[in-house]
């Protein structure tokens, strides 16, 4: 399950990896929440990769993943990790250090969607 | 947890156990750790938790063909490999052979932020893939508590721990988790709440600057186990535990006799020496010849081709060899032949348990016929009498069961009662030989006597113990009106006796001559008297004849006279 999305170019690139384990409600919620956060008008380019550890268990070891779901910002350094279903949007935004566009507020609702993508 | 209660219904087979392969541990736990269950190893920092756990994995992989998985939370595989390499374990080699899987789980709290609900499925996935990779039967977590620092939601963690232990149990994985000891609780984070099958507590204490490691099985559900605190040792061959209470008074008694190495002493012991497998106590004051006596025994044993272990707390191998050379006992060839193993270390190096554990290990390594411990009194340093007594009793039992003849040298310090060993083990030993000094006429002389010797009619004599250039001699002492005489007094007395004897002899000879002379004189007298008697008899006969002649003459004269008158 790999999804790659690119929005705008020529701006600072943010690389995000979301680690999930199968299609659990929590994993699906995390994907949805992440998409919503990113769908807000952010300045940076971002690149999201969703990794299903059930399909590739060795990556859990290689990337030191314990909690599921885990969102890893591998770029820019330093690496930071956010664990959970990302329902606390504020923490995600602060944690990933994504600055929002001027004048605009994040439009993503907390506790958005659980279930279908 | 109802599911757990259901599993332990009565009437089932007894709990299966997984041997650890750690010397001593399987004996005190009566078979090892609970198979397919989780055991907590808890203890303070530096008490050997990780070592014990890793040894369980390594020995499982090496000796029982049970591959293992190590989930390390605190140290990287490289560090762990280095740490245990000193115990002789090659973890990297095992990992290459797919007998051991190492997963370093890094928990970096400063990297992690939480947003919403999560679980630890990642850990499960890693564990599953690791278990699958080597076909693991054993798992170790070192230490799971690191998760408490990485994740702030204790509710989630507790739920996940519960899930983890069930997961491990469902897969029948024999698991060891290490945990730091908390104040008043076995583990700091109360892991024992989840795992209640087996809890092993390690302790590392210091008394009088000497460290002592102890192990105790606090809990072992559904099975009997040794409940005492057992001393254990970590050395170049890993952990070893002294299974002290497993020994009982059931040893067989040999009637074979072996020489004490001193012919005169053998003579005092029915002319045959000690019993094989018996324990001999040699006590004495300083410089009374205890070591020499022990070395003679060793020399004799090696001469018979037996292996000997000489454990020395006072002198080095070379020093003993040199000193014994001076009295005609050459130990060097035996060392070279490999018959004699001389180990010397300082008594203050460890506590009493460590000494005995080390002795134990040496005995197992050397497999000796005879053991000498010189002196046991030095084990006293840093331990109470009671401890020494109980430890020595265990050592004695161990030696007896193994059929090893043991000589314990005990130093009696000046001023104390001679017939009293400092550690009071005399009642445990079979033969007790006492060496003492006798001070007389400005010299000290060594004396030896056999205080007791079970099962034989031993001599009751006090002998003078003389160390010559050709070994030991036991001489009868002089006992006279002036008391027991030894040394030069004895020599003086002996020469005096000799002089007296000569004098008596001369007197007798003189008297004999006198008597002979007298006899001759009397005989002469007898001869003279006989001659006189003969003369008298002769004279008597002459007189008688003369008388008869005279009577005849008289009668003739009368007849003639009558005739002449009758004619008238």
Neighbours of B386 (CB within 10 A): 10
Of the candidates A53, A58, A83, the beta carbon closest to that of B114 is on: A83
Same domain assignment for residues B119 and B181: yes
Supply the pLDDT for residue B249. 65
Q: What is the mean pLDDT of chain B?
A: 84
Q: Which of chain A's residues have a Cβ under 8 Å away from the Cβ of B103?
A: 61
Tell me if residue B51 falls in helix, strand or coil. Answer: helix
* CATH code of the domain covering residue B369: 3.40.50.300
Asked if A69 reaches chain B (Cβ–Cβ under 8 Å), the answer is yes
Tell me if residue A41 falls in helix, strand or coil. Answer: coil
Position B347 in a domain = yes
Check pLDDT > 70 for residue A65.
yes
Residues B22-33 have a mean pLDDT of 86
Residue found by looking up tokens 């009493």 in the block: B352
Confidence of residue B6 (pLDDT cuts 50, 70, 90): very low
Q: Which residues pair with B467 in a beta bridge?
A: B472
Confidence of residue A33 (pLDDT cuts 50, 70, 90): confident
Supply the pLDDT for residue B543. 92
Position B537 in a domain = no
Q: Do B117 and A87 touch (CB under 8 A)?
A: yes
Residues B206-227 have a mean pLDDT of 81
Same domain assignment for residues B137 and B85: yes
Same domain assignment for residues B267 and B229: no
Of the candidates B115, B118, B128, the beta carbon closest to that of A68 is on: B118
Supply the pLDDT for residue B369. 92
Check pLDDT > 50 for residue B477.
yes
Token pair in block for residue B561: 């006279």
Supply the pLDDT for residue B376. 81
Same domain assignment for residues B176 and B295: no
Instruction: Please tell me which residue, A2 or B544, carries the higher pLDDT value.
Output: B544
Supply the pLDDT for residue B317. 87
A96-105, B209-218, B264-273, B495-504 — which is least confidently predicted?
Answer: A96-105
Same domain assignment for residues B232 and B261: no
A78 to chain B: nearest residue by CA? B111
Instruction: Please tell me which residue, B210 or B246, carries the higher pLDDT value.
Output: B210
Same domain assignment for residues B298 and B167: no
Position B207 in a domain = yes
Boundary (domain end) residue, out of B197, B224, B246: B246
Quick: pLDDT tens for B285-343. Answer: 888 888 889 999 999 999 999 999 999 888 888 888 898 888 888 888 998 988 899 98
- What are φ and ψ of residue B563, in 5° steps? -55, -50
Check pLDDT > 50 for residue A117.
no
Of the candidates A57, A58, A86, the beta carbon closest to that of B115 is on: A86
Angstrom distances, CA of residue B562 to CA of B552, B555, B556, B557, B559 = 15, 10, 10, 8, 5
Q: Do B114 and A53 touch (CB under 8 A)?
A: no
Check pLDDT > 50 for residue B207.
yes
Q: Which of chain B's residues have a Cβ under 8 Å away from the Cβ of A34?
A: none
Position B357 in a domain = yes
Same domain assignment for residues B238 and B118: yes
CA count, 13 A, side-chain hemisphere, B291: 22
Closest by alpha carbon to B427, among B416, B419, B415?
B419
Residue found by looking up tokens 């008869």 in the block: B548
Of the candidates A67, A89, A92, the beta carbon closest to that of B118 is on: A67
Check pLDDT > 80 for residue A100.
no
Same domain assignment for residues B387 and B473: yes
Interatomic CA distance for residues B243 and B215, integer angstroms: 11
Supply the pLDDT for residue B48. 87
Q: Where are the domains of chain A?
A: 13-96
Closest by alpha carbon to B331, among B354, B312, B353, B356?
B312
Check pLDDT > 70 for residue B9.
no
Supply the pLDDT for residue B170. 92
Same domain assignment for residues B388 and B449: yes
A–B CB contacts, 8 A cutoff, strictly below? 95
How many residues belong to chain B? 568
Boundary (domain end) residue, out of B464, B490, B516: B490
Asked if A72 reaches chain B (Cβ–Cβ under 8 Å), the answer is no
Check pLDDT > 90 for residue B535.
yes
Supply the pLDDT for residue B11. 54
The percentage of chain A sitting over the pLDDT mark of 70, rounded to a whole number, equals: 69
The H or E element spanning position B134 is helix B121-134
Q: Does domain A13-96 have CATH number 3.40.30.10?
A: yes
Which of B109-118, B191-200, B315-324, B487-496 has the largest mean confidence? Answer: B315-324
Confidence of residue B528 (pLDDT cuts 50, 70, 90): very high
Q: Which of chain A's residues have a Cβ under 8 Å away from the Cβ of B112?
A: 67, 81-83
Check pLDDT > 90 for residue B139.
yes
Supply the pLDDT for residue B398. 83
Check pLDDT > 50 for residue A8.
no
* Cβ pair B42, B190 in contact under 8 A: no
Asked if A32 reaches chain B (Cβ–Cβ under 8 Å), the answer is no
- What are φ and ψ of residue B142, in 5° steps? -135, 100
ipTM exceeding 0.90? no
Q: Do A60 and B106 touch (CB under 8 A)?
A: no
How many independent structural domains does chain B possess? 2
Of the candidates B111, B116, B123, the beta carbon closest to that of A86 is on: B116
Closest by alpha carbon to B449, among B439, B463, B431?
B463
Residues B434-458 have a mean pLDDT of 83
Asked if A63 reaches chain B (Cβ–Cβ under 8 Å), the answer is no
Position B285 in a domain = yes
Of the candidates B111, B112, B115, the beta carbon closest to that of A87 is on: B115
CA distance A58 to chain B (A): 7
Q: Do B120 and A66 touch (CB under 8 A)?
A: yes
Quick: pLDDT tens for B37-73. Answer: 999 999 888 888 888 999 999 999 999 999 999 999 8
Supply the pLDDT for residue B419. 61
Quick: pLDDT tens for B424-445. Answer: 677 788 898 888 887 777 788 8
CA distance A105 to chain B (A): 19
Q: Do A80 and B125 touch (CB under 8 A)?
A: no
Q: Do A67 and B103 touch (CB under 8 A)?
A: no
Neighbours of B295 (CB within 10 A): 26
Q: Which of chain B's residues have a Cβ under 8 Å away from the Cβ of A87?
A: 115-117
Supply the pLDDT for residue A9. 47
Residue found by looking up tokens 């409940």 in the block: B227
Residues B396-403 have a mean pLDDT of 84
Check pLDDT > 60 for residue A84.
yes
Same domain assignment for residues B285 and B236: no
Full residue range of the structural domain in which residue B282 is found: 257-490
Position B389 in a domain = yes
Q: Do A84 and B117 touch (CB under 8 A)?
A: yes
Supply the pLDDT for residue A108. 42
Residues B393-416 have a mean pLDDT of 81
Asked if A82 reaches chain B (Cβ–Cβ under 8 Å), the answer is yes
Closest by alpha carbon to B194, among B147, B226, B150, B229?
B147
Check pLDDT > 70 for residue B390.
yes
Residues A88-104 have a mean pLDDT of 67
Boundary (domain end) residue, out of B461, B490, B519: B490
A112 to chain B: nearest residue by CA? B116
Interatomic CA distance for residues B448 and B296, integer angstroms: 15
Closest by alpha carbon to B165, among B197, B122, B136, B202?
B197
Position B325 in a domain = yes
Check pLDDT > 50 for residue B224.
yes
Instruction: Tell me how far apart the terminal alpha carbons of chain B are, to the nearest angstrom.
Output: 186
Q: Do A61 and B117 touch (CB under 8 A)?
A: no
Confidence of residue B4 (pLDDT cuts 50, 70, 90): very low
Same domain assignment for residues B433 and B408: yes
Same domain assignment for residues B97 and B216: yes
Of the candidates A29, A53, A79, the beta carbon closest to that of B125 is on: A53
Check pLDDT > 50 for residue A7.
no
Asked if A45 reaches chain B (Cβ–Cβ under 8 Å), the answer is no
Q: Do B105 and A67 touch (CB under 8 A)?
A: no
Check pLDDT > 80 for residue A115.
no
Of the candidates B111, B116, B129, the beta carbon closest to that of A88 is on: B116
**Burial status of residue A82 (CB atoms within 10 A of its CB: 0-12, 13-18, 19 or more):** buried
Picking from A67, A72, A79, A82 by the largest number of B CB atoms within 10 A of its own CB, the best residue to mutate is A67
Residues B128-134 have a mean pLDDT of 92
């Amino acid at each position: 399950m790999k999804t790659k999305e690119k929005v705008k170019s020529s701006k600072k690139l943010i690389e995000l990896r979301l680690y999930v384990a199968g299609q659990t409600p929590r994993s699906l919620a995390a994907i949805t929440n992440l998409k919503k956060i990113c769908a807000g008008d952010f300045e940076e380019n971002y690149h999201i990769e969703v990794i299903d550890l059930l399909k590739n268990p060795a990556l859990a070891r290689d990337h030191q993943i314990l909690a599921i779901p885990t969102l890893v910002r591998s770029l820019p350094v330093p690496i930071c990790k956010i664990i959970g279903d990302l329902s606390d949007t504020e923490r995600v935004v602060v944690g990933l250090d994504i600055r929002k566009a001027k004048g605009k507020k994040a439009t993503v609702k907390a506790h958005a969607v659980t279930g279908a993508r | 947890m109802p599911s757990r209660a259901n599993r332990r219904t009565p009437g089932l087979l007894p709990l299966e156990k997984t041997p650890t392969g750690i010397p001593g541990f399987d004996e005190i736990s009566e078979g090892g750790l609970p198979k397919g269950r989780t055991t907590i190893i808890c203890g303070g920092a530096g008490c050997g938790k990780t070592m014990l756990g890793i040894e369980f994995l390594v020995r499982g992989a090496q000796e029982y063909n049970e591959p293992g998985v190590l989930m390390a939370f605190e140290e990287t595989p490289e560090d762990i490999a280095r740490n245990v390499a000193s115990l002789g374990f090659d973890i990297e080699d095992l990992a290459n052979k797919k007998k051991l899987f190492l997963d370093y789980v890094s928990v970096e709290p400063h990297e992690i932020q939480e947003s919403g609900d999560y679980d630890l499925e990642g850990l499960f996935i890693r564990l599953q893939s690791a278990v699958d990779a080597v076909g693991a039967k054993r798992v170790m977590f070192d230490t799971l508590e690191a998760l408490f620092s990485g994740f702030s939601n204790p509710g989630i963690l507790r739920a996940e721990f519960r899930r983890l232990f069930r997961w491990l149990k469902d897969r029948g994985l024999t698991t060891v988790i290490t945990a730091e000891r908390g104040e008043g609780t076995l583990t700091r984070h109360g892991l024992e709440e989840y795992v209640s099958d087996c809890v092993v507590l390690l302790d590392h204490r210091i008394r009088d600057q000497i460290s002592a490691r102890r192990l105790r099985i606090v809990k072992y559900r559904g099975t009997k186990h040794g409940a005492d605190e057992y001393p254990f040792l970590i050395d170049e061959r890993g952990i070893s535990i002294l299974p002290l209470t497993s020994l009982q008074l059931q040893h067989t008694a040999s009637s074979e006799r072996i020489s004490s190495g001193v012919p005169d002493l053998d003579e005092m012991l029915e002319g045959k020496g000690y019993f094989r497998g018996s324990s001999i106590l040699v006590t004495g004051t300083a410089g009374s010849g205890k070591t020499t006596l022990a070395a003679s025994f060793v020399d004799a044993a090696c001469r018979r081709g037996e292996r000997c272990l000489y454990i020395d707390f006072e002198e080095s191998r070379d020093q003993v060899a040199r000193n014994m050379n001076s009295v005609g006992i050459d130990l060097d060839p035996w060392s070279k032949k490999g018959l004699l193993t001389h180990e010397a270390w300082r008594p203050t190096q460890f506590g009493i348990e460590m000494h005995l554990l080390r002795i134990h290990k040496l005995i197992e390594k050397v497999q000796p016929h005879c053991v000498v411990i010189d002196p046991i009194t030095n084990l006293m340093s840093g331990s109470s009498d009671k401890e020494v007594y109980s430890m020595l009793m265990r050592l004695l039992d161990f030696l007896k069961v193994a059929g090893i003849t043991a000589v314990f040298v005990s130093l009696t310090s000046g001023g104390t009662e001679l017939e009293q060993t400092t550690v009071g083990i005399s009642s445990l030993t079979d033969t007790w030989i006492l060496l003492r000094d006798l001070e007389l006429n400005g010299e000290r002389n060594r004396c030896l006597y056999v205080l007791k010797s079970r099962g034989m009619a031993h001599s009751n004599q006090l002998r003078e113990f003389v160390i010559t250039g050709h070994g030991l001699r036991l001489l009868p002492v002089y006992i006279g009106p002036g008391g027991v005489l030894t040394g030069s007094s004895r020599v003086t007395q002996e020469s005096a006796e000799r002089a007296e004897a000569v004098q008596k002899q001369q007197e007798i000879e003189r008297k004999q001559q006198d008597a002979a002379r007298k006899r001759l004189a009397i005989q002469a007298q007898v001869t003279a008297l006989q001659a006189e008697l003969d003369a008298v008899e002769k004279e008597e006969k002459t007189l008688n004849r003369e008388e008869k002649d005279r009577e005849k003459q008289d009668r003739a004269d009368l007849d003639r006279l009558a005739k002449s008158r009758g004619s008238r």
